[in-house]
Amino acid sequence: MTKRVFVKTYGCQMNVYDSGRIVDALGESGYTSAPDPESADLIVLNTCHIREKAAEKVYSEIGRLKHLKARDTDRPVMIGVAGCVAQAEGEEILRRAPAVDFVVGPQNYHRLPAIVSATGNGRRPVDTDFPAEDKFDHLPRTGVRRIRSQGATAFLTVQEGCDKFCTFCVVPYTRGAEFSRPVAAVLAEARDLVDAGVREITLLGQNVNAYHGAGPDGRDWGLGRLLEALCAIEGLARVRYTTSHPRDMDDSLIAAHRDLDKVMPYLHLPVQSGSDRVLDRMNRRHTRDFYLAIVDRIRSARPDLALSSDFIVGFPGETDADFEATMTLVEEVGYAQAYSFKYSPRPGTPAAEDSDQIPEAVKSERLQRLQDLLNRQQAAFNTSFAGRTMPVLFERSGRNPGQLVGRSPWLQAVQADAPQSLIGDLANVVVDRVGGNSLFARLAEPASETPFVAEATA
Ligand code: 5AD
Ligand code: SF4
Q: Identify whether residues 293 and 164 lie together within a single domain.
A: yes
- For residue 112 and ligand 2, the question of a CB distance below 6 A is answered with no
457, pLDDT greater than 50 = no
Give the pLDDT band (50/70/90) at residue 316.
Answer: very high
Picking from 131-135, 320-324, 331-335, which range would have the lowest pLDDT averaged per residue? 131-135
Q: What average pLDDT score do residues 397-410 get?
A: 95
Would residue 110 count as lying in a domain?
Answer: yes
Q: What is the model's pLDDT at position 73?
A: 64
Of 127, 162, 194, the residue that ends a domain is 127
Q: Identify whether residues 12 and 100 lie together within a single domain.
A: yes
Would residue 353 count as lying in a domain?
Answer: no
Q: Which of 178, 179, 207, 283 to mutate to test the pocket of ligand 2 (most atoms within 8 A of CB)?
A: 207
- For residue 172 and ligand 2, the question of a CB distance below 6 A is answered with yes
- For residue 171 and ligand 2, the question of a CB distance below 6 A is answered with yes
Of 298, 302, 289, the closest CA to residue 250 belongs to 298
Q: Which ligand is nearest to the CA of 209?
A: 2
Q: Identify whether residues 116 and 145 lie together within a single domain.
A: no
Give the pLDDT band (50/70/90) at residue 134.
Answer: confident
Between 325 and 456, whose confidence is greater?
Answer: 325
Tens-place pLDDT, residues 215-269:
999 999 999 999 999 999 999 999 999 999 999 999 999 999 999 999 999 999 9
Q: Identify whether residues 159 and 301 lie together within a single domain.
A: yes
Q: What is the model's pLDDT at position 450?
A: 47
- For residue 208 and ligand 2, the question of a CB distance below 6 A is answered with no
Would residue 382 count as lying in a domain?
Answer: no
| Residue 312 Cα to ligand 1 middle (Å) | 6
| Residue 341 Cα to ligand 2 middle (Å) | 14
Give the pLDDT band (50/70/90) at residue 458.
Answer: very low
Q: Identify whether residues 40 and 104 lie together within a single domain.
A: yes
Q: Identify whether residues 141 and 90 lie together within a single domain.
A: no
Rg (CA), the chain: 23
Would residue 324 count as lying in a domain?
Answer: no
Give the pLDDT band (50/70/90) at residue 446.
Answer: low
Q: Identify whether residues 34 and 116 lie together within a single domain.
A: yes
Q: What is the model's pLDDT at position 452?
A: 52
- Ligand 2 nearest-atom number relative to CA 284: 2
Q: Identify whether residues 141 and 245 lie together within a single domain.
A: yes
Q: What average pLDDT score do residues 286-297 get?
A: 98
Q: Which ligand is nearest to the CA of 316?
A: 1
Would residue 162 count as lying in a domain?
Answer: yes
Q: Identify whether residues 267 and 173 lie together within a single domain.
A: yes
Q: Which domain holds residue 418?
A: 389-443
- Which residue's alpha carbon is nearest to atom 7 within ligand 1? 169
Q: What does each C-alpha distance from 43 to 4, 89, 121, 455 come to in angstroms? A: 9, 19, 18, 42
Picking from 78-92, 138-152, 154-168, 185-199, which range would have the lowest pLDDT averaged per residue? 138-152
Give the pLDDT band (50/70/90) at residue 158.
Answer: very high
Q: What average pLDDT score do residues 350-370 get?
A: 97
- For residue 51 and ligand 2, the question of a CB distance below 6 A is answered with no
Q: Which ligand is nearest to the CA of 338?
A: 1
Picking from 63-72, 83-92, 400-409, which range would have the lowest pLDDT averaged per residue? 63-72
Q: Which ligand is nearest to the CA of 339?
A: 1
CATH of the domain at 123: 3.40.50.12160
Q: Which ligand is nearest to the CA of 311?
A: 1
| Residue 257 Cα to ligand 2 middle (Å) | 23
Q: Identify whether residues 165 and 248 lie together within a single domain.
A: yes
- For residue 312 and ligand 2, the question of a CB distance below 6 A is answered with no
Give the pLDDT band (50/70/90) at residue 52.
Answer: confident
- For residue 222 and ligand 2, the question of a CB distance below 6 A is answered with no
- Ligand 2 nearest-atom number relative to CA 272: 7
* Number of domains forming the structure of the chain: 3
Q: What is the pTM of this model?
A: 0.93
Q: What is the model's pLDDT at position 1?
A: 64
Of 127, 158, 180, the residue that ends a domain is 127
Give the pLDDT band (50/70/90) at residue 335.
Answer: very high
- For residue 49 and ligand 1, the question of a CB distance below 6 A is answered with no
CATH of the domain at 303: 3.80.30.20
CATH of the domain at 395: 2.40.50.140
Would residue 88 count as lying in a domain?
Answer: yes
| Residue 243 Cα to ligand 2 middle (Å) | 9
- For residue 167 and ligand 2, the question of a CB distance below 6 A is answered with no
Q: What is the model's pLDDT at position 55?
A: 83
- For residue 351 and ligand 2, the question of a CB distance below 6 A is answered with no
Q: What average pLDDT score do residues 29-48 get?
A: 94
Q: What average pLDDT score do residues 137-154 get?
A: 91
- Which residue's alpha carbon is nearest to atom 2 within ligand 2? 166
Q: Which of 245, 310, 318 to mutate to test the pocket of ligand 1 (most atoms within 8 A of CB)?
A: 310
Q: Are strands 153-157 and 200-204 parallel, antiparallel or unpaired?
A: parallel
| Residue 169 Cα to ligand 2 middle (Å) | 6
Average pLDDT over all residues of the chain = 94
Say if residues 351 and 369 touch (Cβ distance below 8 Å). Answer: no
Q: Identify whether residues 9 and 154 lie together within a single domain.
A: no
Q: Identify whether residues 258 and 282 lie together within a single domain.
A: yes
- Which residue's alpha carbon is nearest to atom 9 within ligand 1? 344
Q: Which ligand is nearest to the CA of 167?
A: 2
- Which residue's alpha carbon is nearest to atom 13 within ligand 1? 310
Sign of the dihedral through C-alpha 98, 175, 46, 193:
negative
Would residue 335 count as lying in a domain?
Answer: no
| Residue 343 Cα to ligand 1 middle (Å) | 7
Would residue 434 count as lying in a domain?
Answer: yes
Percentage of residues in the chain having pLDDT higher than 90: 87
435, pLDDT greater than 80 = yes
- For residue 341 and ligand 1, the question of a CB distance below 6 A is answered with yes
Of 313, 339, 356, the residue that ends a domain is 313
